[in-house]
Amino acid sequence: MSPPCPCGRAAPLADCCGHYLAGAPAPDAESLMRSRYTAYVLEDEV
């Protein structure tokens, strides 16, 4: 079980912003902004 993505979507990180954090192109501006927020949150937790 993976925790939900920090960006606010119900999908697990690996199925949501994880793709974009790993280098995949975000399909739209919203996904890009969410992935940046997720990166910020993850960095904050380390």
For Zn ion, the binding residues (CB under 5 A) are 5, 7, 9, 16-17, 34
- The contacts of residue 25 (CB under 8 Å, 6+ apart) are none
C-alpha closest to that of 28 among 11, 41, 40, 19: 19
Please, which residue, 32 or 46, has the CB nearer to Zn ion? 32
Provide, rounded to whole angstroms, the least separation between the CB of residue 28 and Zn ion: 13
Please, which residue, 9 or 36, has the CB nearer to Zn ion? 9
Provide, rounded to whole angstroms, the least separation between the CB of residue 20 and Zn ion: 8
**Structure token digits, residue 33:** 């902004």
